[in-house]
Amino acid sequence: MNEVDYLFFGAHPDDVELSAGGTIARAVKEGLRVGMIDLTRGEMGTRGTPAIRRREAAAAARVLGASFRDQLDFGDGVLRGGREEELKVIEIIRHTRPQLVFAPYPDDRHPDHTRTGRLVTEAWFYAGLRQLKTKLTEHRPQAVVYYLQNYMFPPSFVVDTTAAWKTKMRAIAAYKSQFHDPKSKEPQTFISDPGFLEMIEARGKHFGALIGRRYGEAFVTKQPPQLTDLIGAYGGREVGGKRKR
């Protein structure tokens, strides 16, 4: 693990790329350093094994260009969020010193996602307390940015991921055990149905349409982002709008 600009936390391998893979690929292309942490090994998944999923997760991170990807073992299906786990997340934040931390929105159909969002939000604040003595000095990223999974909330902003969409889908395809594979003999699941990837595609188009682009990824923050280019922020939505690219 090294210092990064963005640090992404997910409950399970593949969570982050499904919701924010395009944003990662785009940031890396723009020269930012991005780290990824899965809080569990995904051992409750119907298909694949933790070892297979670990290899797939590493391959997906390489496709996106992440500086590192690490996996913790907080328990798939029981995600533990006690003081021990909280301190682990605090140390990761203090060690990697990101400007922004990304986490699942802390209210989702899957309780592991909800707990990850809550745990990271609380660790984000505590990591900045000088009087909380650990081996590393305090650091609090500028904000926790939430990506959306099953439940939808009105986005605080949408990132144009048009140019990064193919890279995102290639990263998702690295999870051969999880998603549609006509040759697989494993049981069908909600996410291995071909309709699941169609839904990801449709969601990307829907969020893109909200900002007048082909593809987008939506995020929620509890505090609004500050904008320095208001016209640029709305550019491309309407006829005559200023197109930045």
How far CA 15 is from CA of 41, 102, 111, 113, in Å, comes to: 12, 12, 13, 9
Q: Which two tokens mark 54?
A: 């670990």
Is residue 39 a contact point for Zn ion (CB under 5 A)?
Answer: no
Which of residues 10 and 65 has its CB atom nearest to Zn ion in the complex? 10
Nearer to Zn ion, 11 or 144 (CB): 11
In the complex, what is the shortest distance from the CB of residue 40 to Zn ion, in angstroms, rounded to a whole number?
8
Neighbours of 78 (CB within 10 A): 11
User: Is the CB of residue 203 less than 8 Å from the CB of residue 214?
Assistant: no
Q: What is the 8-class DSSP label of residue 67?
A: S
Q: How far is the CB of 185 from Zn ion (least distance, A)?
A: 24
Touching Zn ion, residues 60-119 (CB under 5 A): none
Query: Of all residues in this chain, which one has the CB nearest to Zn ion in the complex?
Result: 12
* Least gap, CB of 5 to Zn ion (angstroms): 24
The CA-based dihedral angle spanning residues 77, 172, 144, 138, taken in that order and rounded to the nearest 10 degrees: 80
Q: Helix H segments across 66-178?
A: 83-96, 111-126, 165-173
Shortest CB 38 distance to Zn ion, Å = 9
Q: 4-33: which residues touch Zn ion (CB under 5 A)? A: 11-12, 15
3-class secondary structure per residue, 185-228: CCCCCCCCCHHHHHHHHHHHHHHHHHCCCCCEEEEECCCCCCCC
Q: Which is nearer to Zn ion, 14 or 160 (CB)?
A: 14
Task: Name the minimum Å distance from CB 236 to Zn ion.
Answer: 32
Residues in binding contact with Zn ion, number by CB under 5 A: 3
- Residue with Cβ nearer Zn ion (15 or 217): 15
Which residues of this protein are in contact with Zn ion, per CB under 5 A? 11-12, 15
